[in-house]
Amino acid sequence: MKKLSIVIPMYNSFHLMKKNLLRLNAIKDFKIEVVIVDDCSSDNSFEQAQDYKDDVNYELVVVRNMRNLGPGCSRNKGIDNATGDYITFVDSDDYLDYSFEKQLGKLFIHDIDCIVFDYLLVDCDGNKIGEGKSADIRFEEGFIDKNDAFVYVFGSTCGKIYKKKVIDDNSVRFGNLFRNEDMPFTKKALAVSKSIYYLPKKLYMYVQVSSSLMHTQKLNDEKNCQIAYQFLIDSLPKEEMKEELEAIELREVLNNSIYIMMCNKESTKKILSYIEEKYSIKYIKNQYFKRFPKQVKIITFMAYFKLVFLLRLIFKIKNKLKSGH
């Protein structure tokens, strides 16, 4: 019977994890190991997690960092302590759907290197807010092209399961980055996976909390995107993957940086300076560009032709739609 290790970084958040931990009790088709990595919580989360071992019927491993290291390094410690055949990552306030066992159990027997699945956006009470895809383009269920997965599957940690041996044999680890540490990990893991299966099922429940790290505006800085991308390309053969890496740079770095600068209300002069330095026709001519969704193409064309006013208008509308106002 296969074993799945679920790594959960924790900081003052054990009270948010109980829903996920209890749901995992019902899984019978494969073994479960949960590795909680406490990042020096200032409350009693570490002690609570240790005491919870008697309330679950699976392996619950609780380890602690000697000092506060952040989510990336905490996940690395989780990888080092995990003993499963497969490994996945769940944030402390998120949880897995009840159908997780049924959908994933049937795939483990096929010895797949990576399984990608979708997610739901929910509020703290579990009410559906929206739906999320794990890729920029539509994939049919089944095995997908490795290069397409590398380019089009999003860089977030949620919604992916990896064969543990693939992660270890290729030294895939999170960088000690301030932000965006998940993108280079995910992209490298996809790059070294020989078989990638897309499962169009929403099995990850992504809880939207306004005070979460992703919503902390002061942490947003376009430089973080570039740092994360540099960490990725330093770990891969750049010449062999030139086209793919350029496509990722456009999607994950350039367009994201424009969005961050817009959110931070940077001056038109600064935005134009960034565009003139970074954008070139090579991204539009890239073989993967034509399959990007319309919004990626629109942002790229507007940036390339320096239509900053229209970019501001688009992002303003996007933020209003996202906030529901």
Confidence of residue 222 (pLDDT cuts 50, 70, 90): confident
- As a whole-number percent, the residues of the chain with pLDDT over 90 amount to 84
Of residues 94 and 176, more confidence is placed in 94
Amino acid at 307: L
257 — phi, psi (to 5°)? -65, -40
State the pLDDT at residue 215.
42
For the chain, the average pLDDT equals 92
- Residues 183-187, mean pLDDT to the nearest whole number: 97
Tell the CATH topology of 3-214. Answer: Spore Coat Polysaccharide Biosynthesis Protein SpsA; Chain A (3.90.550)
> What are the extents of the domains in the chain?
3-214, 237-323
User: Rounded to the nearest 5 degrees, what angle is found at the Cα of 170, between the Cα atoms of 168 and 175?
Assistant: 85
Average pLDDT over residues 43-54: 96
Task: Give residue 169's identity as a one-letter amino acid code.
Answer: D
- Predicted confidence band at 113 (pLDDT cuts at 50, 70, 90)? very high
pLDDT given at position 319: 73
Q: How far apart are CA 85 and CA 156, in angstroms?
A: 21
Q: What is the mean pLDDT of residues 15-29?
A: 93
Q: Which amino acid is at 252?
A: E
